[in-house]
């Protein structure tokens, strides 16, 4: 499991910059592929991972329409589920061969694309990592994402808040920890952010991880698959909670949160506090009913829009706007972070007011 060294820019400052649309650009923010600009009608490649989450499915259509509306030609491809990494490697190589001026990559495994992005750079493309950083390579120009360490911090704090609200008479709580796919560079960032909040409470006895599984290798959920999370939760309940109450679970996203809730219900256990992320449609009714405590709203529309804004800037021969830098293990990557939003039952309608499809789910 790789650990990413995330720039320690103050979270509040990053959020304010992102909200205000401000940017900070320096002379060394530009990669070799963005100096000359390129014409309308040029090819823009987008390589996305397999369709295991609602937001990835949404992103593909948004990218295609946004690229075409901006006056470029779109080549949007998803990796297959059976061999996603080789698929994505081949797709990026194909985009380079076709002469893509920008290649936007939502990596299945950001540590296994080094050869392909090096070749893309050599072919004259600008490489933008989308949502997930590309690790251990210098051949990356930009990174656009939500502030993922902040996401983890918000999840950790929400778990504490939810436990206090649901169990006001308790002074300590039994919890379990889940993290995402080991191949996803975001997974350790979410987990590290959450543990910044939770570890002090584990150390002082406020929180107890009854299974003892606190290392990220123990908490990982391969491929972000719901069944893998449900199986692990089943095993934990059988081994550690036969005569002990479970109070809450740190879940890194909504898909896994629902799997964890299914496991708890199947075991006949009382309702617990569960975190989430991505504002998936299936989880919003659960939040409104109190079954899932919270989620994180990261509007895919805004993230795709920003990636295309950066592409348009590059086409004009300009540097793309950035707010900070992110170290990927090899280089500090110019980065634009968007601010994530905590959503609970109390603020869901307000949080989703500009997204009719999600807002209507708060009223059911």
Please give the domain boundaries of the chain with CATH numbers for all domains: 11-140+299-339 (3.40.50.2300), 149-297+345-352+356-363 (3.40.50.2300)
CB-based burial, 242-278: b 16+ in 10 Å, e otherwise: eeeebbbbbbbbbbbbbbbbebbeeeeeeebbbbbbb
Residues in the chain: 364
What is the pairing mode between strands 273-274 and 207-209?
unpaired
Segment 353-357 shows an average pLDDT of 92
Per-residue pLDDT tens digits for 48-97: 998 878 889 999 999 999 999 999 999 999 999 899 999 999 999 999 99
Q: Give residues with Cβ within 8 angstroms of 44, minimum separation 6.
A: 67, 72, 73, 74, 75, 100, 101, 102, 103, 104, 311
15 vs 108, which has greater pLDDT? 108
Confidence of residue 35 (pLDDT cuts 50, 70, 90): low
DSSP β-bridge partners for residue 126? 102
What average pLDDT is seen over the chain? Answer: 91
| Separation CA 41–CA 291 (nearest Å) | 48
Per-residue pLDDT tens digits for 141-162: 999 999 999 999 999 999 999 9
Comparing CA positions, the residue from 332, 326, 311 lying closest to residue 33 is 311
CA dist 273 → 102, 139, 190, 341 (Å): 43, 42, 18, 18
DSSP β-bridge partners for residue 223? none
Q: Does residue 24 carry a pLDDT above 50?
A: no
Q: Does residue 31 carry a pLDDT above 80?
A: no
Contact criterion met (CB below 8 Å) for 249 and 176: yes
| Separation CA 156–CA 39 (nearest Å) | 46
Indicate whether this model's pTM tops 0.75.
yes
Per-residue pLDDT tens digits for 238-284: 999 999 999 999 999 999 999 999 999 999 999 999 999 999 999 99
């Amino acid at each position: 499991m790789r650990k990413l060294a995330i720039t320690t820019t103050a979270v509040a400052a990053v959020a304010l910059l992102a909200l205000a649309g401000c940017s900070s650009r320096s002379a060394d923010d530009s990669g070799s592929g963005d100096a000359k600009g390129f014409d309308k009608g040029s090819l823009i490649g987008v390589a996305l991972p397999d369709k295991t989450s609602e937001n990835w499915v949404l992103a593909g259509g948004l990218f295609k329409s946004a690229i075409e509306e901006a006056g470029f030609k779109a080549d949007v491809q998803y990796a297959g589920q059976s061999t996603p990494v080789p698929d994505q490697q081949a797709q990026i190589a194909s985009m380079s061969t076709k002469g893509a001026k920008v290649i936007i990559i939502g990596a299945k495994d950001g540590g296994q694309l080094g050869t392909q992005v090096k070749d893309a750079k050599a072919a004259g493309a600008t490489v933008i990592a989308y949502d997930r950083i590309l690790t251990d390579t210098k051949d990356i120009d930009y990174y656009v994402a939500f502030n993922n360490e902040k996401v983890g911090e918000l999840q950790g704090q929400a778990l504490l808040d939810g436990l206090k609200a649901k169990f006001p008479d308790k002074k300590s709580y039994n919890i379990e920890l889940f993290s995402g796919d080991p191949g996803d560079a975001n997974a350790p960032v979410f987990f590290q952010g959450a543990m910044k909040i939770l570890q002090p409470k584990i150390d002082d006895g406020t929180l107890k991880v009854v299974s003892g599984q606190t290392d990220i290798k123990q908490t990982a959920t391969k491929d972000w698959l719901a069944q893998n999370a449900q199986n692990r939760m089943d095993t934990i309940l059988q081994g550690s909670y036969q005569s002990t109450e479970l109070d809450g679970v740190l879940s890194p996203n909504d898909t896994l949160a629902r799997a964890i809730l299914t496991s708890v219900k199947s075991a006949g256990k009382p309702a617990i506090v569960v975190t989430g992320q991505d504002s998936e449609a299936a989880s919003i009714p659960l939040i409104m009913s109190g079954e899932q405590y919270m989620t994180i709203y990261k509007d895919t529309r805004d993230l795709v829009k920003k990636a295309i804004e950066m592409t348009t800037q590059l086409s004009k021969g300009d540097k793309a706007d950035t707010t900070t830098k992110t170290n990927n293990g090899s280089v500090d990557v110019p980065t634009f972070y968007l601010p994530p939003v905590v959503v609970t039952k109390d603020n869901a309608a307000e949080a989703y007011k500009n997204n009719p499809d999600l807002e209507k789910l708060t009223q059911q």
